[in-house]
Amino acid sequence: MFHPAQLAVKLVEQAAAQKTFSGVAALLRTLAEDLGADGCVLFQLTPLKRGQRLRERELIATAQYFREHEKPVWRKLTMESRTGANVLRAAGAAGPPQAARVPVERLGSRVFEEDSRSPIAKELGLRSFVSLPVWLGSELYGAVNLCRCSEGELMEEAIEAFVAVAPMIPQLSVNIVNQAGFDLWRTVGELLKPGRRDSKMSKTLDQVAARVAETFNTFESSIYLVPSNGGDTIHLEGTQWPFREEHHQRSFRKGESLTGKVFETKEPNLVESLKIGDPTFDLEDVAGEHVKASVEGELPPLGWLAAPILDGVRNYGVLRTCMSRTGPYYFDKRHLEFLVLVAGQVGDWVGIRRREDRLRREAQWLESLVKGLTRLNQQVHDGWNMPAPQNYQKQLLVSAMSVAAEAIPEASNLSVRLVDPTGEFLEIAETLGEAWHSGSAKEIERRRKLRFPLKGKDTNTAGAWVHRERRTLWIPDLPKSEFISHSFPESRSMIVAPIIAGEEFFGTFDLRSERPAAFPDRAKNVAEMIGRQLGLYISLGRKIGELSAAKRRLSSSLNAQSMTFENLAHQLKTPMFLAMRRATRLAERVAGRPDLSAEVSALRGLCRRSEQIVKNVRFFAEIANDTKPTIVETTLDRELLVKSLEEAARDHALLLDPKRSIVFKVDAESFQVLDHVVAQADLGLLDQMVGNLLDNAAKYSFPKTEVRIRGGLARNGGYFYIGVSNRGVAVSPEEARTLADRGQRSDTVIWRKQEGSGIGLHLVEEILEAHKGHLEIVPTNSQGVTEFRLLFPVAGALAKV
């Protein structure tokens, strides 16, 4: 009927299925029910303390089963009890392998009823029981009691079977703890998998706490963490505690109560039994009342376990669990070891989360700072393009402070103080933050008008120090520093950064907080950077302002100069023109008198040269003032053009030293092209352009060479050109491209550096542009000939063609 081997197999199978530390109760139930008993209890000996004798130890029920008694019935037995006495007898006997011979205490109902030392018997209506001391390896573990409350005695066969299998219970109990503990470790590992890190931190920690409470079979399981920025206080972050709302602000300082002590020492702690109301107990009475209400009776002493949450040496907080629901009421070191294991998992996870969060915050912070600075730079750029850049300074300062306020949320107010025009004081230019605008209107006004001396007496202020040292001042505890703020007594910490550009000091950028040591390390760097940015903006803004003013003055001066040149040239033009005409007429009259003829010719040449210069000056004055030259185009007549060119060539020849033997020649035949096409030009300006080209040719020709003037068609007949070619200073293809730029003369040819304003070709190009024509410079060819061509667009073909 009672087959011990079958029962043993059943117990082993049951043990293998348990997932919580309270799973031992299931084995006890099987024992009781299969053996016709009403209850079964596993007692464990309390650990032997130093100097304690076995007789002084106690037996604690670590698991129990009683039919008809669903509520916890906790018991702690002294060694003077029947069970205790039986255990003492077992201790007196030799240990295993003789363990099988330990005495079995069998008590019938008669004897039991008389036993006044067993109140449990009365409470449960116990009639008889069998108590068997049990060993775990070579250690006396405690006892297993089989109880009967109903009528009749336990059967002998049942007792024999009980004696056979009960010694398995301690080992199976340990197996269940190990198995449940590793299952806890595995499932918590699943909860804290990297893939689940996106979930909300407190939610995950709640799940971990719930899993711990389930395994330990406890009412409460909580995780307390220190804030990301450190400190001496841990706060409730995750819990399975059903009264969370009432305890959500629960926190412990280092060393405060049991949990605070674990946080301080970083050592795991196990307390065997606690009572509600115990001053060292962490839970408030209200929680105790809830427990009382839920168990409806006497509360067992509460088991309490806590493990530090560590990541390496970094201390993040505490994982604790306490108050068993139905047993085990007593936890041992093995239970605590599993709690330490889980706390380690939580520590690793929190460490990774914190590092990730910190990196994410840092990245967000940096991104926000960069965006802010970019916005600020854009604003500066836009502002500088405004007509009056100084007007946007106020807006710029406010924007800079906004960027800083985003980057340093610890600052409750910010300000920019700038040096006043005398250089003697700092004045508040702009402020940002509530504290500046609080108080009465009078007080706000007083603050706005504050001035801080930089020189002379009473300069022991933060601003004066920064002005003197050109360094950032960081005051973590303002009231205790030498720079006590009388102007803003609510300030507790402060950073004052210089607004500088190079050696130039413009003012200070201030951060204040009503809290001491409010600012993180980066606040100083940000304040310094903003200070330097502002210094740069202010410095550049001022320089741009100066440049704008200089530009206006220069423009005005240029305009006046241009007007003067134009007026002078205009005034000179008439007498020069008349002088030229008279010289021409005179030359005709003295044609027969060689002595006078040479003088008159020279005079005429000089007049032409002067006229050329006057025309150049006048035209230059026009284009220098960004005025488009006005042209009056006339269709070019071949005969008139050739005659005019021959006169120009003759006049230029007269100005040259005869020793150089430079000949000017007009190729009249080449201009026959004008019989076939129509080209137009302003004759006065054409004369001026040809004069400039002849000047150049005369200047840069080698001795005994010819300057040739010819006409022709260029660019597929689209242009009529007048070309002036000479042999002399070479012009490379590269030079040909830039020679007409204003002020440009050849660099490779030394003598071009010698003289001249360098504007002649530039003027020619400007005039041609007004004609929709081009200046074409044909670089020096292998014969040493360079040609400068004036290109005029062909207006059309003549009918006779």
Partner 1 sequence: MKILIVEDDYLFAEEMRQDILAAPEFNDAEVEVVGTEQEFRDRFEQIQQAGYDLIILDVMIRWVDPSPEARKPDADVLEDGYFRAGIRCLQMLRQAQATKETPVVIHSNMDEKDILAAIAMRHVHEVSKIVPKWNADPLMKAVRQAIKSA
CB of 590 to partner 1, least distance (A): 18
Q: Which of residues 243-282 bind partner 1 (CB under 8 A)?
A: none
Q: Residue 459 or residue 610: which is nearer to partner 1 going by CB?
A: 610
Which residue blocks in 296-435 are alpha helix, DSSP H? 333-384, 393-407
CB of 703 to partner 1, least distance (A): 5
Q: How far is CA 154 from CA 11, 365, 439, in A?
A: 20, 75, 87
CB of 783 to partner 1, least distance (A): 13
Q: For residues 326 and 28, give the distance between their C-alpha atoms in angstroms, rounded to a whole number.
A: 13
Q: Residue 20 or residue 601: which is nearer to partner 1 going by CB?
A: 601
602 is an interface residue for partner 1 by CB under 8 A:
yes
Q: For residues 60 and 44, give the distance between their C-alpha atoms in angstroms, rounded to a whole number.
A: 5
Binding residue (CB under 8 A) for partner 1 from 551, 753, 795, 796: 753
Q: Which of residues 754-773 bind partner 1 (CB under 8 A)?
A: 754-755
Q: Residue 638 or residue 699: which is nearer to partner 1 going by CB?
A: 699
Binding residue (CB under 8 A) for partner 1 from 81, 399, 701, 786: 701
CB of 605 to partner 1, least distance (A): 8
CB of 660 to partner 1, least distance (A): 6
Using CB under 8 A, count the residues that bind partner 1.
20
751 is an interface residue for partner 1 by CB under 8 A:
yes
Q: What does the block give as tokens for 88?
A: 């003492």
Q: Residue 589 or residue 660: which is nearer to partner 1 going by CB?
A: 660
Q: Residue 169 or residue 731: which is nearer to partner 1 going by CB?
A: 731
Is residue 663 within 8 Å of 706, Cβ to Cβ?
A: yes
**Residue 764: which of 694, 668, 679, 674 has the closest Cα?**
694
| Residues composing the chain | 801
CB of 697 to partner 1, least distance (A): 10
Q: For residues 325 and 748, give the distance between their C-alpha atoms in angstroms, rounded to a whole number.
A: 103
Q: Which stretch binds partner 1 (CB under 8 A): 163-171, 256-264, 538-546, 701-709?
A: 701-709
Q: How far is CA 279 from CA 257, 323, 352, in A?
A: 8, 16, 36
CB of 553 to partner 1, least distance (A): 25
Q: Which stretch binds partner 1 (CB under 8 A): 165-173, 219-227, 257-265, 697-705?
A: 697-705
Which residue blocks in 385-489 are alpha helix, DSSP H? 393-407, 441-448, 462-469
CB of 689 to partner 1, least distance (A): 22
Q: Which stretch binds partner 1 (CB under 8 A): 70-78, 395-403, 627-635, 749-757?
A: 749-757
Which contacts (CB < 8 Å, 24+ apart) does range 195-202 have? 197/352, 197/353, 197/356, 201/237, 201/353, 202/237, 202/238
Binding mask 705-734 toward partner 1 (x if CB under 8 A, else -) reads: -----------------------xx-----
Q: For residues 400 and 152, give the distance between their C-alpha atoms in angstroms, rounded to a whole number.
A: 92
750 is an interface residue for partner 1 by CB under 8 A:
yes
Largest CA distance in the chain: 178
587 is an interface residue for partner 1 by CB under 8 A:
no
Q: Residue 485 or residue 705: which is nearer to partner 1 going by CB?
A: 705
CB of 474 to partner 1, least distance (A): 56
Which residues lie below 8 Å from residue 467, measured CB to CB, with a gap of 6+? 419, 426, 454, 498, 505, 508
Residue with tokens 């606040």: 523
Binding residue (CB under 8 A) for partner 1 from 700, 719, 721, 788: 700
**What value, to the nearest 5°, has the Cα angle with vertex 81 and ends 75 and 82?**
110
CB of 724 to partner 1, least distance (A): 16
Is residue 239 within 8 Å of 247, Cβ to Cβ?
A: yes
Q: Which of residues 650-679 bind partner 1 (CB under 8 A)?
A: 655-658, 660
Q: Would you give the DSSP letter of residue 46?
A: P
Tell me the three state secondary structure of residue 387. coil
Q: Which stretch binds partner 1 (CB under 8 A): 246-254, 420-428, 634-642, 693-701?
A: 693-701
User: In 490-528, which positions are buried (b, 16+ CB within 10 angstroms) versus exposed (e)?
Assistant: ebbbbbbbbbbbeeebbbbbbbbbeeeebbeeebbebbb
Q: Which stretch binds partner 1 (CB under 8 A): 56-64, 87-95, 418-426, 695-703?
A: 695-703
Q: Which stretch binds partner 1 (CB under 8 A): 35-43, 436-444, 557-565, 599-607?
A: 599-607
Q: Which of residues 605-644 bind partner 1 (CB under 8 A)?
A: 605-606
Q: For residues 128 and 144, give the distance between their C-alpha atoms in angstroms, rounded to a whole number.
A: 14
Is residue 117 within 8 Å of 80, Cβ to Cβ?
A: yes
435 is an interface residue for partner 1 by CB under 8 A:
no
Binding residue (CB under 8 A) for partner 1 from 354, 676, 699, 742: 699
CB of 380 to partner 1, least distance (A): 43
Is residue 354 within 8 Å of 310, Cβ to Cβ?
A: no
Q: For residues 611 and 284, give the distance between their C-alpha atoms in angstroms, rounded to a whole number.
A: 111
- Other Cβ atoms closer than 10 A to 610: 15
CB of 587 to partner 1, least distance (A): 16
The partner residues of 106 in beta bridges, in order of sequence, read 130
Q: In the complex, which residues of this chain contact partner 1 (CB under 8 A)? A: 602, 605-606, 655-658, 660, 699-703, 728-729, 750-751, 753-755
